[in-house]
A and B are shown apart, each in its own frame.
Chain A
């Protein structure tokens, strides 16, 4: 196990892949592994890319890779696709669009399913980012489908967040409603070869101008990722945002927030696991649940009783 981390730090790709699996599977050794990895993290710059299904996120990542590699930076990519709630399986197809870089040793791509555990998605994505960070990747791109809260959470982990919209789908308004407006550092209007692009760009710009309170004004960049158009502009804007974060002191602030969230989540995770392990050890929950359903008990006092019985409230002393 120690050896796996050592191999990771030496740049062994197999070790990186194995470690991501172990954290994703909630392996017993996970915490120990992450402890060993953590001192070696903090060097990678993390970019989140989110947008509606089929908006062109993977195609865009593929195009960005050319710019990034042209500057000699190494890249890790985490591509998240939804897990089927019915079977627990998933088809992870983002690599289809990234085949040009399949054999580039400085590019490491990992596909992940959302696996649907509550809050677990953002945690396992963050942990996978840590593995790739310690692995030595300069830049880490995280692709997620922007639909739910957990996707928004993942993106909050990023230093720079790119929100991808398309002109035709009319999803601009919808997305803004979902509160994604607030998390975007850059807007990309992909599929700018389709009609309606100018209007969409103008719409977003108008909304941004109305809101303009923060010191960073997100750029709105039209791209045609299947033809490589607008990619240079996007890469430039990305670097500008990074420079802004670094020179304004915001980057330190963003990363403090991230650590705060990491710590909070880890405490909650430990408490939750510990409490449930003990409770499940002592009780047959199903009986209690049925009683509550029959209105013989209520969930509020039952929850207190459960915690009481494992001395949860006393253990404060």
Chain B
């Protein structure tokens, strides 16, 4: 009788002003049956972590196009851990070089990294796959 839904925070930390990509991903996740909390542009890491806490999300998806992923992602991960949310799935999307992605994943800052070439279905099925 329980009716769980996967809740995803789609956040845009950093200063870049494009959220078209984030919106497209948000819609795809909704169409895959998820509840997507969308918060708009220019989020600070503190805002992202606090929103994740209040909304009790299962997934945090960060869209970062500004090139500042190597500082933002670890910072947000640490804040999530501070909020007792270390188990939240953290995925990053953006223009992120392969070697950076490897570091983020290997150091445990991110669970997965997607780049603009990745199909939306790949992102959706990665998340749904994680919760089945």
Contacts and interface: CB of A to CB of B under 8 A. Distances in A.
- Do A and B share a complex? yes
Interface of A: 13-14, 16-18, 20-21, 25-28, 83-84, 86-93, 95-96, 99, 102-103, 108-111, 113, 115, 117, 273
B30 A91 contact: yes
A115 B5 contact: yes
Given A17-B56, A25-B2, A96-B39, A102 B33 contact: no
A88 B33 contact: yes
Given A28-B2, A89-B31, A102-B47, A95 B56 contact: no
A87 B84 contact: no
Interface in B30-60: 30-40, 43, 46-47, 50-51, 53-56
Contact of B33 (A21, A25, A89, A95): A89
Contacts of A108: 54
B122 interface: no
13 contacts: A18-B56, A20-B56, A28-B2, A89-B35, A92-B35, A92-B36, A93-B37, A95-B38, A95-B40, A102-B51, A103-B47, A109-B51, A113-B5
Contacts, number: 93
B3 A117 contact: yes
Interface residues of B, number: 32
B83 interface: yes
Nearest to B31: A87
A93 B33 CA distance: 16
Determine the main DSSP class of B at the interface with A: mixed
B4 interface: yes
Nearest to B30: A89
A16 B55 CA distance: 10
A91 B27 contact: yes
Nearest to B84: A14
Contact of B1 (A26, A90, A95, A99): A26
Contact of B30 (A18, A20, A90): A90
A31 to B, nearest CB: 11
A131 B51 CA distance: 18
A18 B54 CA distance: 9
Contacts of A96: 38-40
